[in-house]
Amino acid sequence: MLSEELLIEQCRKGKQAAQEELYNRFAAAMLGVCIRYCGNHTEAEDVMQEGFIKVFRNIYEFKARNEGSFATWIKIIMVNTALNFLRDKKRFSFIEDIENVPIYEQEKTDLFFEESEKYIPSRNELVEMVNELPEGYKLVFNLHVIEKYGHKEISKMLGITEGTSKSQLSKARFVLQKKVKEWENCKKKMMLAV
């Protein structure tokens, strides 16, 4: 296995073995990134392939800043490729202004149960809940919560206002809280039935 520095150098020279190693090293993680945005495994694979083509075409532009910056650079390419794919498919829509969004009070449901009685969904169940969100909610949620972009950056990336980004995140969180509560109630009923 080549060091990251040597791998990048070999890829810049167009060495097929190095390109294959780079792909194999990062494909699983990048497919996960693409699935978060596309939701559909087949589309996510297509987006990932297109993303890797961009990685290989632009690898000479990469400049290492610190450890992990190469993986971050590849991830940014995948996210942007996924956003472009969704934009081309016109698969997301947004509420235009935060003023039009009803404000929801946070439910105080956790106060009624002891810590030991709470049920927590698995990572896969949470990912499934996020994937069930409307596209606009899911995009902003992933960009803000998972990728750690600020609302100003998200607004530029998606061509929306900061207020719209904030409202999409707020509504996504509300819907997810509701889904988790429903899931929790279902688990409690199942446990009581036993």
Instruction: Parse the chain into domains and list their residue ranges.
Output: 4-89, 98-193
Half-sphere exposure of 135 (CA within 13 A, CB side): 15
The fraction of the chain above a pLDDT of 70, given in percent, is 84
Answer CATH for 98-193 from 3.30.565.10, 3.10.20.90, 1.10.540.10, 1.10.10.10: 1.10.10.10
CB-neighbour burial class of residue 19 (10 A; exposed 0-12, middle 13-18, buried 19+) = middle
**The pair of three-digit structure tokens given for residue 142, joined into one six-digit string:** 């992933």
- pLDDT tens-digit series, residues 121-177: 888 888 888 888 888 899 999 999 988 999 999 999 888 899 999 999 999 999 999
Q: What does the pLDDT read at residue 92? A: 62
When pLDDT is cut at 50, 70 and 90, the band that residue 184 belongs to is confident
> Does the pLDDT at position 24 exceed 60?
yes
Answer CATH for 4-89 from 1.10.10.10, 3.90.1150.10, 1.10.3720.10, 1.10.1740.10: 1.10.1740.10
The alpha carbon of residue 9 and the mean position of all alpha carbons in its chain are separated, in whole angstroms, by 29
Handedness of CA 131, 180, 174, 126 (dihedral sign): negative
98-193: same fold as 4-89?
no
Count CB-CB contacts under 10 A for residue 38.
Answer: 22
When pLDDT is cut at 50, 70 and 90, the band that residue 114 belongs to is very low
